[in-house]
Amino acid sequence: MLLANKQVAIIGGGPGGLTLARLLQQQGVNVKVYERDADQYVRQQGATLDLHYESGLRALAEAGLMEEFRENFRPGAERVAITDNNAVVHYTEHDNAPIEDLDNIHARPEIDRGPLRDLLIASLNDKTVVWDSKFTELKANGEGWDLCFANGTTAYADLVIASDGANTKVRKYITDIERIYSGVTIVEGNVYNAAVNAPDMWQLTHGGKIFAHWKGKTIVLSAKGEGSLSFYTITEEADDFVKKSGIDFTDRKQVLAWFKERFSDWSDDWYEIFSSDESYFVARPQYHFPLDQSWKSLPNLTMIGDAAHQTPPSGDGVNQAMLDAVELYEAFCKDHFDTIQEAVTAFENKMLARAVIATEEASQLMEAMLSENSLQFMLDFFNDLEMR
């Protein structure tokens, strides 16, 4: 086996990195995951995620974790309703029966990000995840690398895999290809105990999702299992919007003032999601990479997930990251390459070809959401899906 007697380091304990750690560990590989969070519970994990049959669910099946998934997914949370700017419903799945059959290739069961992360961590050997390890620097050491962390510790690895997400600090050791601003910034928010703190919007979700569209602006609401309402706005903004606007996105009142102005043609029903102090907000400019990105593969360093190929929001990023994990594991442990570099090259070629399609699809979706007739586009899209 290519990775026998090798020390493998995965940087970043998101869905991509943790899935890969599990898959490699099942084959007896020595693997550590270095994660910047101080511990498993320090950070509230964001939105709910729909896992797709051919990617996210395939990864969990390969990892032997379908039983754990069944215990933690949220039947019914996948049901969507589409509204306009006045919160008037034009399409709804809220009365449909909840998903039961996970073998249906069209099933897109939802799981909250926290429980997904927890079940992946629980599947790993003790101390696989090294918490409080904010990666800062790689230094070549023989055929491998010394990894340096912000807390002053270091670690050696023969092979390093970056899965440190959209703001990766490892990618630059592989390529200097820069990301491109997509034209869109999302403002993500979370209202805790939403049945009390945002009761009307909570009710509107019916335990599922709301996609609200009007003339190029979007709000997505998702009910989470622990009672939070997770949401994000999607609007076209300049690349320096976050800095230039001067808005302190940790200040709820400033975020509400921005919303009232930017969404001035929306009804005040939506103000509720900005009205409780039991909430948080964060602005996230959205990027993608050039479609023709490629680089010369290295023998001891590669990357997966958003670090390699983030796209504008399309509801597929976690699925792509988990599929990367499966395909990299297969290249190392199943495909019989002679060297690690050959395995990495084959994996990266496959991943980049897939990323072209994912980026194109996400960009088209984004363009439609930013268009004047975004509501009609989404209604046609969902009605077409229902006819299949």
Ligand X SMILES: Cc1cc2nc3c(=O)[nH]c(=O)nc-3n(C[C@H](O)[C@H](O)[C@H](O)COP(=O)(O)OP(=O)(O)OC[C@H]3O[C@@H](n4cnc5c(N)ncnc54)[C@H](O)[C@@H]3O)c2cc1C
How many chain residues are in contact with ligand X, going by CB under 6 A? 36
Cβ 173 to ligand X shortest distance, Å: 13
> Which of 6, 17, 123, 191 forms a contact with ligand X (CB under 6 A)?
17
Which residues contact residue 265 at a Cβ distance below 8 angstroms, ignoring those fewer than 6 apart? 85, 214, 215
- The torsion angle over the Cα atoms of residues 218, 43, 123 and 171, rounded to 10 degrees, is 70
Distance from the Cα of residue 46 to its chain's centroid: 9
Residue 24, classed as helix, strand or coil, is helix
Strand order in the sheet with 159-162: 129-130, 30-34, 7-11, 159-162, 301-303
Cβ 288 to ligand X shortest distance, Å: 11
Based on CB atoms, which residue is closest to ligand X, 50 or 68?
Answer: 50
Nearest 5°: the CA angle 196, 201, 205 is: 110
Is residue 74 within 8 A of residue 225, CB to CB? The reply is yes
> Which of 83, 123, 128, 163 forms a contact with ligand X (CB under 6 A)?
163
Q: Which of residues 171-200 bind ligand X (CB under 6 A)?
A: 186, 188
Cβ 20 to ligand X shortest distance, Å: 9
Other residues' Cβ atoms within 10 Å of the Cβ of residue 297: 18
367 touches ligand X by CB under 6 A: no
Based on CB atoms, which residue is closest to ligand X, 137 or 342?
Answer: 137
227 touches ligand X by CB under 6 A: no
252 touches ligand X by CB under 6 A: no
> Which of 50, 62, 68, 93 forms a contact with ligand X (CB under 6 A)?
50
For strands 180-191 and 209-214, give the pairing.
unpaired
* Binding track over 299-318 against ligand X, x by CB under 6 A: ------xxx-------xxxx
Q: Which of residues 263-292 bind ligand X (CB under 6 A)?
A: 284
For residues 45 and 116, give the distance between their C-alpha atoms in angstroms, rounded to a whole number: 10
34 touches ligand X by CB under 6 A: yes
78 touches ligand X by CB under 6 A: no
369 touches ligand X by CB under 6 A: no
> Which of 9, 13, 93, 187 forms a contact with ligand X (CB under 6 A)?
13
> Which of 47, 87, 99, 328 forms a contact with ligand X (CB under 6 A)?
47
Rg (the chain; Cα; Å)? 21
348 touches ligand X by CB under 6 A: no
For strands 7-11 and 30-34, give the pairing.
parallel
Q: If you ran DSSP here, which 8-state letter would residue 166 be given?
A: T
The strand pairing partners of 229, in sequence order, are 191, 223
Binding stretches for ligand X (CB under 6 A): 11-17, 34-37, 46-47, 49-50, 133-135, 163-166, 169, 186, 188, 232, 284, 305-307, 315-319, 321
